[in-house]
Chain A
């Protein structure tokens, strides 16, 4: 049997090794991504740097001791001034310190493996903070980070961000302690060739047996902000047949400016405008994934997706964001008991007497 290191002692963990319950090891955001994968929801490939790794870093670099000493000697009372002082000290120390060699090696090994898997050298990734306790929006996320040196720099910046004044104040007010290690997520930046929005119902009439998909070229911004008329599909959720398709004009696409996280708009050429943005198998796969998302959460969902140009089908289908659909879920909850008969004879009689139109 292969010798395995206990999860608790790992420095990094791939998303597909994670479960929701592992949040104490990698933070909530990372653990949730692992859970989504388990539920069959494809997310951008990547790995998590564990909280344990952050702990080793602050211990072995002496930052932990230095902070504890600073708190004991000079900042016993956590007022605004002392918090600012502590924050300044910690952030500067973290951003300057070297990572232990074994840790840096492990992170870079994993990064290189990810680059290889995607077939892209210096693969652009995101560096996302992930705390074991939710602290919404208080720590940093960095987009489009490329290359070994930047990656390590931004991981340090990310760790440092858990000591920004806001985060420190938040923790001290809740008596969570000043010292706080976090997990970091390193997902591939989704290089969307096509992206779009899915509803696991028909948002126009609430039909729960349909999946509605809007898709257009480039990053999701073009579809979400209504810059273009996308291709729209209405799919039967059960048979996966296309019930309705309208080809959009798709004149513009949003892409990243080379070597930057700035987004630019550019024109789509005539031939691509006239083509369907999704291939039949991509369409089918998106439907299967959407059904899994709906099943997993138990209600209609609104989903953002990207088709990644760097990955092969079906790995190129990436779910970017999910949230419950708001309008029809609410209506369903408010719906009164229906007054229609539920026995066959009365239904047939009602049918004959009222004579409803058939499409």
Chain B
């Protein structure tokens, strides 16, 4: 077996992408001229963050990576003083993000940080519920602030109010300010994101390991059943759709819904009747905030929310109507889930023969349950609601840039990084103010075309799972729970380096939901294509979100490219009792629709038969 991965400085260049580095901030590059940094970089293990990023980053999309680079690290290293952990360092190679956890080796330093951590983290754990309530309030305020930012084309002439209210500043200046404000809100919401997440995960990992110590074979799915909340915000969007499906049946509008394929057409039809208007009003009410749910993970600009395409929730409502008509209620059986969770916990507690052990298990379980609403719900507020609104604000800004002649198309903005955009705005507003054409008006469209070509080449490249030198043992808790990087996984990656690349007959992911199933694969990359799904097929998707919910009553099992045991697909499939493997990395590219596959939701193995 190979002892180490490729040195990060020696990753082969892709022909035709020379100069790609300027697409991203300089501090994301592996060093070339700083000997100390080069040595540090070569000595670390860098792993590809496929969990969050199944594809290379468009320059602008790197913003969320930048956001958590700062936020996660600072909470570990400088705020809570997590004894053995500093931050997580980030680099980019051919558009793919590699990360490495930085530990603290000196036992004395770890020792010195312990009382600080106990005091600081202890405060959060003790006041968790109150802090979480405040967290929701301030995050909603932040989103309100975001929604209030408006980008308007630069006017030919400023409004009179500038004069008569003697505002003392013009639109050219304000555009730059608003852009800064938008970016800063994005970074701020990610500061909030990690305010409680690291501690939440620490409590959860503690529970997992405590449970494993007493019950070495306890399945991950059982553990999550014990801690999972029932009233989870992430289920709310689908619950709203079920409500709308039931209302449509009640108002006898199901034929109207069935007869129309687009929401626009349906709206026109329903506006003519009282029942129709009542339904539309309920629909409108459900949209804010629940339809800000993303059809993807929310991490990429192309992850559309329901509000961006109302045909998506409409298709789901129709699927729910079909289920209801067939006598199947798609609602979550809340009471049954609570009873089952309580039974599982009680029976497990009954297995202890030693009171101390039972107490330790219960303590770990209780703290884990306390932190879990945050761990599950923050996703809706940040990755879905905030991000969905944010992407739209960026498109608003982009329209201004298109109007100003700086770029050709609204969707071109993603090929500029956040610093490029700042410079471009400065250029544009000065030209606007002066009354001449901007300096960069030819430069940027040409640059964007070139970058599009580079991105295509990045997409064809397969990033190696890791770079650099693996440690003897992986102990950093966040890499373990978030990315599943353990000593064993590293060994697998290393042995994978040596095996010849032949036909792939199996894929290894993480166990998502228990059980084994054999069946035909259906590869679906976008939620819009869900209609193709035949009952009994195994869904192979990049990832899923609550907008995929109607699929789960039809399928026999599920495989995703990204995600851990706590991802949406795994949680939903456990509820439906569907065997599931998550985080295979390459499921959607290796498996083809119609392939006969077997998945083992207990071991995480997918076999192509």
- Point out residues on A near B: beta carbons under 8 Å: 202, 205, 207-210, 234, 236-239, 241-245, 332, 335, 337-338, 340-345, 347-349, 351-359
A92 CB, nearest partner CB in chain B, Å: 55
Q: Would B125 and A345 count as touching, CB distance under 8 A?
A: yes
Q: Would A348 and B367 count as touching, CB distance under 8 A?
A: yes
- The interface-forming segment of B9-17, B78-86, B130-138, B157-165 is B78-86
The answer for the CA separation of A59 and B503 in the assembled complex, in Å, is 84
Q: Would B217 and A353 count as touching, CB distance under 8 A?
A: no
Write the chain B residue with the least CB distance to A238: B347
A299 CB, nearest partner CB in chain B, Å: 9
Which chain A positions have C-beta within 8 A of B476? 355
Q: Would A241 and B360 count as touching, CB distance under 8 A?
A: no
Q: Would B84 and A342 count as touching, CB distance under 8 A?
A: no
Which chain B positions have C-beta within 8 A of A245? 516
Can you list 23 A-B pairs with a CB-CB distance of less than 8 A? A202-B217, A209-B348, A236-B217, A236-B219, A236-B222, A237-B347, A239-B219, A243-B219, A338-B357, A342-B360, A342-B363, A347-B210, A348-B121, A348-B125, A349-B83, A351-B206, A351-B209, A352-B117, A353-B83, A353-B110, A354-B475, A356-B209, A358-B480
Q: Would B344 and A239 count as touching, CB distance under 8 A?
A: yes
Residues from 85 to 139 in B contacting A, C-beta threshold 8 Å: 85, 110, 114, 117-118, 121-122, 125
Q: Would A348 and B202 count as touching, CB distance under 8 A?
A: yes
* Option from A205, A242, A347, A352 in Cβ contact (under 8 Å) with B364: A347
Most buried by B among A237, A241, A332, A359: A359
B4 within 8 Å of A (CB atoms): no
Q: Would B344 and A359 count as touching, CB distance under 8 A?
A: no
Q: Would B359 and A209 count as touching, CB distance under 8 A?
A: no
Q: Would A355 and B477 count as touching, CB distance under 8 A?
A: yes
B297 CB, nearest partner CB in chain A, Å: 22
Q: Would A241 and B210 count as touching, CB distance under 8 A?
A: no
Most buried by A among B83, B117, B216, B217: B217
From DSSP, what is the main secondary structure of chain A's interface residues? loop
Q: Would A244 and B364 count as touching, CB distance under 8 A?
A: no
Given contacts A358-B480, A358-B481, contact A241 B202 (CB under 8 A): no
Which chain A positions have C-beta within 8 A of B360? 338, 340-342, 347
From DSSP, what is the main secondary structure of chain B's interface residues? helix
Q: Would B364 and A209 count as touching, CB distance under 8 A?
A: no
Given contacts A208-B351, A348-B367, contact A359 B514 (CB under 8 A): no
Q: Would B215 and A207 count as touching, CB distance under 8 A?
A: yes
Which chain B positions have C-beta within 8 A of A242? 514-516, 602
Which chain B positions have C-beta within 8 A of A207? 214-218
Q: Would B487 and A357 count as touching, CB distance under 8 A?
A: yes
The answer for the CA separation of A358 and B211 in the assembled complex, in Å, is 11
Which chain A positions have C-beta within 8 A of B367? 344, 348
Given contacts A202-B216, A207-B216, A242-B602, contact A338 B356 (CB under 8 A): yes
B565 CB, nearest partner CB in chain A, Å: 10
Q: Would A209 and B351 count as touching, CB distance under 8 A?
A: yes
* Option from A210, A237, A244, A358 in Cβ contact (under 8 Å) with B209: A358
B199 CB, nearest partner CB in chain A, Å: 8
B212 within 8 Å of A (CB atoms): yes
Which chain A positions have C-beta within 8 A of B206? 344, 347-348, 351
The answer for the CA separation of A290 and B371 in the assembled complex, in Å, is 36
Which chain B positions have C-beta within 8 A of A344? 125, 203, 206, 363-364, 366-367
The answer for the CA separation of A356 and B360 in the assembled complex, in Å, is 16
Residues from 332 to 382 in B contacting A, C-beta threshold 8 Å: 343-344, 347-348, 351-354, 356-357, 359-360, 363-364, 366-367
B606 CB, nearest partner CB in chain A, Å: 16
B143 within 8 Å of A (CB atoms): no
Most buried by A among B208, B363, B487: B363
B598 within 8 Å of A (CB atoms): no
